[in-house]
Structure 1
């Protein structure tokens, strides 16, 4: 009886494990949205400064712009804010670049200010994990972190 019971217990556990994996909810990021005062200015910033690729805008009513932010994620920019707001730096978007130095050269050439995490102008934060980061704001004052995290590009 023991010879039959022990293998049956292992089979039961394996079946339950498979069922648990199949019933597990999968949640993936689809898009993030920001509300802006000037759609053309915001779209130009995310295309020309950040370097995001603009993608098809499904609504076709002139109040939205969409940008690819990952293999299956987008940034949705929506026109309609009455004025730029003040945001905490900890409430931010983050993008990784292969060369932070090249990105900073582009910011300098276009006279876009940036700072380190503590607010020191034209400075870079060196995180304890070796990743370097800078911070800047878009035309509506949304905070953006740019870093050189190599794990993103693996």
Structure 2
């Protein structure tokens, strides 16, 4: 069996410009060229290899719950939480307590919030 590595996440969004702006503002992701097509899909670089592909679907509505999410890690979750507060973005713990973090049984600190389209994002300190 071959080895695998994570390549990208793709999300469908109503407004590509709004989503790109959100992910740049919240995470400071760098936009990179879409080398796959000439469509209006735009790409962001999460780290040196992993990408977020933002695909325009103006009539799309995200219907999901917190259990369906993607997770990112940071060394300083408290500083990131303060950054979200400065941007007036509410976050919560797993059960939904607003602007509260959560410590898992294994000691990992985590928060959850949603992007403009309703996708859930976890940020934790497992780095």
Q: Same fold (TM over 0.5)?
A: yes
Measure how far apart 1:74 and its partner are: 0.9
**Structure index of larger Rg:** 1
Cα drift, residue 135 of structure 1: 0.2
Whose helix proportion is higher, 1 or 2? 1
Q: Which deviates the most, 65-74 or 28-37?
A: 65-74
Q: Work out whether 1:73 is the aligned partner of 2:50.
A: yes
Within 1, Cα distance between the matches of 2:4 and 2:126? 24
What residue is the counterpart of 1:144 in the other structure?
Answer: 121
**Aligned-CA RMSD value:** 1.4
Compared CA separation, residues 93 and 81, structure 1 to 2 (3 A): farther
Q: Which residue is 1:123 aligned to?
A: 100
**Partner-residue secondary structure (3-state), 2:94:** coil
**Residue from 84, 89, 95 that aligns with 2:61:** 84
Give the TM-score normalised by the residue count of structure 2. Answer: 0.91
Give the TM-score normalised by the residue count of structure 1: 0.76
After TM superposition, give the deviation of residue 131 of structure 1 in Å: 1.1
Give the Cα–Cα distance (whole angstroms) in 2 for the partners of residues 83 and 64 of structure 1: 14
Correspondence for 1:56: 33
Q: Assess if the C-alpha contact under 8 Å between 2:12 and 2:60 holds in 1.
A: no
How many residues get paired?
A: 126
**Unmatched runs of 5 consecutive residues or more in structure 1:** 1-23
Structure 2: gaps spanning 5 or more residues: none
State the SS of the aligned residue for 1:134.
Answer: strand
Per chain length, whose mean CA-contact separation is higher, i.e. which structure has more relative contact order (CA < 8 Å, sep 6+)?
2
